[in-house]
């Protein structure tokens, strides 16, 4: 007689405990999944820099820096000045001219920007250099490449990667670099390129350069024969030059004329 209520009480207690345990397990699992998702989805500035350093090292492996300290210092001075006008002035910005006849420029995440000898040789003044660097700086500021690498990693590794906790930051960087080894040969979406053009022009103007530096370089690139080997990669990875100029014209219009002042370009460091 006396035991019955006790048993009932026990059963009731056990029931609530099971429910409580299930609840906390579910929330723990959810926490765990979102934690692993966060690890993969969140790429901190530190990761971005680590990825950029490796990606740049890959490129430098096939196209080393031009051996001219004066030229490299000069390009860094111009690049850092333009980058200082951006929303991320504190990134470890590095600029360089690499040995390649190609006409191209590359932006590695975290602030590693490289211009080919072929592109540098086609420039007429400093505002054109500033315009080219500013386009690449804008890619870095907006995290265009790192986002592409992150998405690629997620698609390639999919659920498998989400299930396996990426607890190690080193591992995350390795995976991102793995998915982006060919990042320089990858095409961003067109909107990202138009955005880099638009923001690049603003950055160069803010740095005191004539805003027509980038459009002038685009015009030159547009006049190179489409079949020319030196522009194949650039044409493959960017929207048609005519379209980029049309988009820029739409936003620049007459508005930018007020920024144009004679001699805003200045002389380039000679390329030996």
- Site of interaction with Zn ion (CB under 5 A): 193, 196
Nearer to Zn ion, 88 or 174 (CB): 88
Nearer to Zn ion, 48 or 193 (CB): 193
Strands 94-98 and 105-108 turn out to be unpaired
Smallest separation, CB 141 to Zn ion (Å): 12
Nearer to Zn ion, 134 or 172 (CB): 134
Q: How far is CA 177 from CA 37, 143, 181, 196, 239, in A?
A: 18, 15, 6, 22, 25
Nearer to Zn ion, 169 or 220 (CB): 220
Nearer to Zn ion, 148 or 196 (CB): 196
Smallest separation, CB 126 to Zn ion (Å): 20
Smallest separation, CB 148 to Zn ion (Å): 12
How many residues does this entry show for the chain?
A: 272
Smallest separation, CB 250 to Zn ion (Å): 18
Burial of 217-253, coded b for 16+ CB within 10 Å and e otherwise, reads bbebbeebeeeeebbebbbeebbebeebbebbeeebe
Q: How far is CA 93 from CA 89, 100, 106, 183, in A?
A: 8, 21, 13, 19
Smallest separation, CB 193 to Zn ion (Å): 5
Nearer to Zn ion, 71 or 217 (CB): 217
Nearer to Zn ion, 53 or 144 (CB): 144
- Nearest one of 135, 100, 137, 94 to 119, comparing CA atoms: 100
Smallest separation, CB 44 to Zn ion (Å): 24
Q: For 42-183, where are the alpha helices, taking DSSP H only?
A: 45-62, 69-83, 117-121, 126-141, 144-163, 169-179
> What's the 3-state SS for 39-50?
HHHCCCHHHHHH
* 241-252 vs 213-223: helix crossing angle, rounded to 10: 160
Smallest separation, CB 39 to Zn ion (Å): 29
């Amino acid at each position: 007689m006396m035991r019955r209520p006790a048993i009932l009480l026990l059963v009731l207690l056990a029931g609530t405990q099971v429910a409580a345990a299930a609840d906390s397990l579910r929330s723990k699992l959810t926490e765990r999944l979102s934690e692993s998702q966060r690890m993969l989805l969140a790429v901190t500035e530190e990761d971005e820099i680590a990825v950029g350093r490796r990606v740049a090292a890959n490129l430098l492996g096939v196209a080393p820096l031009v051996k001219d300290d004066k030229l490299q210092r000069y390009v860094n001075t111009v690049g850092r000045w333009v980058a200082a006008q951006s929303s991320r002035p504190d990134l470890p910005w590095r600029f360089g001219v690499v040995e390649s006849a190609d006409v191209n420029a590359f932006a590695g995440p975290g602030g590693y920007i490289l211009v080919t000898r072929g592109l540098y040789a086609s420039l007429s003044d400093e505002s054109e250099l500033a315009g080219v660097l500013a386009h690449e700086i804008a890619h870095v500021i907006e995290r265009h490449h790192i986002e592409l690498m992150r998405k690629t990693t997620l698609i390639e590794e999919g659920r498998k990667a989400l299930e396996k906790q990426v607890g190690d930051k080193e591992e995350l960087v390795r995976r991102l670099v793995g998915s982006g080894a060919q990042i320089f040969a990858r095409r961003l979406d067109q909107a990202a390129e138009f955005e880099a053009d638009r923001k690049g022009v603003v950055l160069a103007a803010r740095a005191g350069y004539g805003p027509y530096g980038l459009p002038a370089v685009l015009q030159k690139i547009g006049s190179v024969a489409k079949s020319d080997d030196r522009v194949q990669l650039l044409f493959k990875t960017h929207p048609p030059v005519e379209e980029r100029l049309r988009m820029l014209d739409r936003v620049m219009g007459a508005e930018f004329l007020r920024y144009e002042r004679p001699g805003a370009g200045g002389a380039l460091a000679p390329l030996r």
